[in-house]
Structure 1
């Protein structure tokens, strides 16, 4: 078997893992729909390469408003690798206690909101504290982890708790311990991670189930759609409408944040 075939076979296993979680995925979609139909948002966070899943949810073609993509560049800026803004700093910062609190201080959170936090290991401090803060505010939180990898890993949070300890529902990407899925002859360590593949499948399954719920509720989502599908004019119209809806939703996250002012008191 070629290494390409081997990797694709492993991905087939990821599909099977995700398919076994259909009931939980539909439960997640129902939770998220309650926030979106109420005019609020689903907060989505991931540090490191988990940022990929945040952007997979929104905004991109085939997605729709209702999500607050929280992407902190200091935790997700990878291309410089070394030097200023390098990976060492990013990996250090994602385990700084209190950083999550500073990020979420920017938002006027409500128990009507829901949240999705992605962390393959479920063991880094910032995503764990994100979920912990959400839980403390009665915000129902969903986690996406790699179950086998998380169980084999040690939490970097002082109390030893992991992301899944603060989540109402936990979904499993199916990736193995260490994430990389392919062993190469003559090479000591495996290559080719699987968590992105599994997690992106979960994201898009949630998205599909959620779009159905919103449509059945009489509020079909404004889906970012290519001009090649619906024509340039219609695509532009939906694009503008979707971004405007996002603006209307996100404005509520700042309206009464933090310390009151005469501005926040205005009707």
Structure 2
């Protein structure tokens, strides 16, 4: 598609990106409702049964995972499962993080040293769902008795080949799968003068999808007569005191303060 880069309006590149992102959000709202509900119930079950909550994502997928942790308006019990050199793009060189995602055995070593145990829940975010790390993470976690929610784009399962030795994708080892609907390559725009597609929307969509799950979890806990352990902003009056009470009550299930 051709176009210009001037600002404002639906016909501009900026407008086209917003339209694309909104369209994806509408799709996940309309098509993933049952999966969002199932994921919310799974997390609510975990909290009610005394389990702990964890989230993992590699590279840019880690952004959506981090968005769930120690977040105003979010569940205080969500912890980040970290893999050295993989979470974010702060490792140097940044390409090392991508290489580590393809290493067999890394996920098992990480889980062996992690606090995860049977009865916990783990959210694994991987756009392609094809690399060894997220696949092995899900497979191993479930073998330990951990419930797994996978957030991925199912488009990759028909357009790419898996890189894990099992020949499977992340989706094959999850209790609940959330499809972000992101197209292969994660780029929403093209321009005649630009040789490659550009403007990724996976972070926007994945974060929104997971916040919808968090909202569902809070509602599911309330319906069971359980006050959801939510955090408040420390920048509003009373917020810090509220959070201190939550931390005290649920301290044995919160790992980001240790």
Do the aligned residues in 2 keep the contact of 1:96 with 1:125 (CA within 8 Å)?
yes
What is the aligned partner in structure 1 of residue 132 from structure 2? 125
What is the aligned partner in structure 2 of residue 264 from structure 1? none
The counterpart of 2:225, out of the listed 208, 218, 221, is 218
1:60 matched to 2:71? The reply is yes
1:31 matched to 2:64? The reply is no
Which segments of 5 or more consecutive residues in structure 2 lack a partner in the other structure? 1-10
What is the aligned partner in structure 1 of residue 15 from structure 2? 5
Q: 1:89 to 1:185 in 2, by over 3 A?
A: same
TM-score by length of 2: 0.88
The counterpart of 2:251, out of the listed 244, 247, 253, is 247
Q: Map residues 177-216 of structure 1 onto 2, 5 A cutoff.
A: 177-216=184-223
Secondary structure of 1:159's partner? coil
Q: Tell me, in whole angstroms, the C-alpha distance in 2 between the residues paired with 1:46 and 1:210.
A: 20
Give, in angstroms, the shift of residue 192 of structure 1. Answer: 0.9
1:154 matched to 2:161? The reply is yes
Do the aligned residues in 1 keep the contact of 2:124 with 2:151 (CA within 8 Å)?
yes
Q: Tell me, in whole angstroms, the C-alpha distance in 2 between the residues paired with 1:216 and 1:237.
A: 25
Q: Tell me, in whole angstroms, the C-alpha distance in 1 between the residues paired with 2:148 and 2:90.
A: 30
Q: 1:246 to 1:192 in 2, by over 3 A?
A: farther
Do the aligned residues in 2 keep the contact of 1:123 with 1:157 (CA within 8 Å)?
yes
Do the aligned residues in 1 keep the contact of 2:53 with 2:77 (CA within 8 Å)?
yes
Q: Tell me, in whole angstroms, the C-alpha distance in 2 between the residues paired with 1:128 and 1:4.
A: 35
Q: 1:114 to 1:63 in 2, by over 3 A?
A: same
Report the more deviating stretch, 60-69 or 1-10: 60-69
What is the aligned partner in structure 2 of residue 261 from structure 1? none
The counterpart of 2:99, out of the listed 92, 100, 111, is 92
Q: Tell me, in whole angstroms, the C-alpha distance in 2 between the residues paired with 1:11 and 1:148.
A: 17
TM-score by length of 1: 0.85
Q: 1:73 to 1:136 in 2, by over 3 A?
A: same
What is the aligned partner in structure 1 of residue 144 from structure 2? 137
Report the more deviating stretch, 237-246 or 176-185: 237-246
Do the aligned residues in 2 keep the contact of 1:181 with 1:192 (CA within 8 Å)?
yes
Give, in angstroms, the shift of residue 139 of structure 1. Answer: 2.3
Which segments of 5 or more consecutive residues in structure 1 lack a partner in the other structure? 255-267
Do the aligned residues in 1 keep the contact of 2:65 with 2:80 (CA within 8 Å)?
yes
Secondary structure of 1:127's partner? helix
Cα RMSD of the aligned pairs, angstroms, is 2.0
